Amino acid sequence: MNTSAVTRTLFSPRGLFGLIAAASTGLILFALYLQHVVGEHPCPLCITQRVFVIIVGLFALAAAVHNPAQTGRRLWSALVLLAAIAGGIVAGRHVWLQHLPEDQVPACGPGLAYMFENFPFQQAVQLLFMGDGNCAEIGWTFLGQSIPFWTLVAFIGFAAAALLQFFRKA
């Protein structure tokens, strides 16, 4: 297979959705490596970002398997885009918390499981998005940037790929 055929396959609608699914799988595997091997324990906002990465990946995988025509491709792209935007909002909030001055960082709060077991759903989600002192800690970094920063970059990439798919001609 020549280079142009590989390029056409990778950037075909099915190929691009497959790349999104593979990238989200890679991100989750790396997050699990950081958690279980390196010892970086995720805060509630990290867990929420993981959920959105998984949702993006599942939508993209479903789209790759389905390989729909233009209308279906736009629907799957919109779903990937919405999940990427939601994840990007969470990651952006997390990055913002990490850059607060130390005296403005919120106090540590209850764990994720405790919030959802003991508070009404809407209040638990509100507490989750507020973040806490654990969310402001920066552990592992790459090129001087934190995990939430790189997750935000990934969500921007997922959103860009979804927009490309959405506006792609038949």
What CATH number did the domain enclosing 54 receive? 1.20.1550.10
Q: What pLDDT does residue 95 have?
A: 84
Domain assignment present for residue 2? The answer is no
Q: How far apart are CA 165 and CA 170, in angstroms?
A: 10
Domain assignment present for residue 124? The answer is yes
Domain assignment present for residue 5? The answer is no
Tell me: pLDDT of 1 over 70. no
Report residue 3's pLDDT band, with 50, 70 and 90 as the boundaries.
low
Domain assignment present for residue 55? The answer is yes
Structural domains counted in the chain? 1
Cβ pair 148, 99 in contact under 8 A: no
Domain assignment present for residue 3? The answer is no
Domain assignment present for residue 4? The answer is no
Specify the range with the lowest mean pLDDT, choosing from 54-58, 68-72, 124-128, 144-148: 124-128
Q: What pLDDT does residue 81 have?
A: 97
User: What number is the average pLDDT over the span 134-156?
Assistant: 80
Cβ pair 99, 152 in contact under 8 A: no
Domain assignment present for residue 149? The answer is yes
- Per the DSSP assignment, residues forming a β-bridge with 146 are 141
Domain assignment present for residue 91? The answer is yes
From 151, 42, 145, 157, select the one nearest 99 (Cα to Cα): 145
**What token pair was written down for 166?**
């959405």
Q: How far apart are CA 52 and CA 155, in angstroms?
A: 9
Q: What pLDDT does residue 105 have?
A: 57
Q: What pLDDT does residue 37 have?
A: 93
- Mapped onto helix, strand or coil, the DSSP state of residue 142 is strand
From 151, 19, 13, select the one nearest 75 (Cα to Cα): 13
- Per the DSSP assignment, residues forming a β-bridge with 107 are none
- Per the DSSP assignment, residues forming a β-bridge with 109 are none
- Domain range for 53: 13-167
